[in-house]
A = this chain, B = another copy of it.
Amino acid sequence: MVIERATYKDHVIKYIYNGMQENRYKAGDKILESHLAKELGISRAPIREALADLVRSGLLEYRPQVGNFVAILTPQEIIDSYVARGVLEGFAVAQGINNFDGDDLQRLEDMARKMEDYAQKGKRKALIDIGQKFHEELFSHCTNSQVVLFTEQLSLKLHLLFYKHWARVYAPEEIRDRHLEIIDVIRKGDSVKVEMMIRNHYIDTGHKVVEQERKT
C-alpha cells in the first residue's frame, strides 16, 4: 500500500484502526514497527508517533523496551468504559437540555425510527452510522469542551466494540423505544431524569456487549 501525502502519522493511525476493525490485528497481538514501515513504505519515525497516539487512546498497550500490543479489553474494562460514557453523555445532555428545540427533537425522533428500520433490514453499517449521528446530536448542545473531548476519546475505543456487537445487542423495536424514551424526557426538560436514564442505558449496553464478547 502506498500513501499519498500529508503527515503520514494520521494515515498510519487509520491504517491500524482499520486493521483492528477488520480483525487483522487481534487483541494481544504485537505490533512491529518495522513491519508496518515496510508495508507502508515509510520510515519508523511516523509509525512510532502513530503508535504512541493509539496508546493514548487506549487502543494499544505499551510496554517499555518491549513494544506495542493490541489492547486486551477485560470484561471489567468494557463495562467501565460504557459506564464512563454514560456518565459523560448523561451530564452532557442534562447540561444542555434547555437548548433542544422542536426541530432538534423531530430530527432525533426521525433517526430513532430509521434505526429501527435499518436494524430490521439488517443494514448494520447504516444502523451504526445513524446511531453515531444520534449521539452526536445529543452532544451538540453540550458546551463543555472537556466533556466533549473525553467522550471523543472514549468513542474511538467503544466504536470498535460497537462495530462488532452493538447491532446484535438489542432487538429493532427495542433500539427504537430506548431512544424514543430519551427523547421524551428531553422534551419534558427533566435534566435529573435524563441523566439517570442515559447512565442506565449505557450500563445495560455495557453488560450486554460483555455477554456478546464472552460468546466469541
Contacts and interface: CB of A to CB of B under 8 A. Distances in A.
Interface of A: 7, 45, 48-49, 52-53, 56, 58, 64-65, 76-77, 80-81, 83-84, 87-88, 91, 143-147, 149-150, 154
Contacts of A58: 149
Tell which of A45, A49, A76, A88 has the most Cβ of chain B within 10 Å.
A88
Contact of A150 (B53, B77, B84, B91): B84
A144 B80 contact: yes
Contact of A7 (B64, B80, B143, B145): B64
A81 B49 contact: no
A87 B151 CA distance: 13
A112 to B, nearest CB: 26
B53 A147 contact: no
Contact of A80 (B45, B49, B145): B145
Contact of A144 (B53, B65, B83, B145): B83
A83 B91 CA distance: 10
A80 B48 contact: no
A80 B147 contact: yes
Contacts of A48: 49
A47 to B, nearest CB: 12
A116 to B, nearest CB: 30
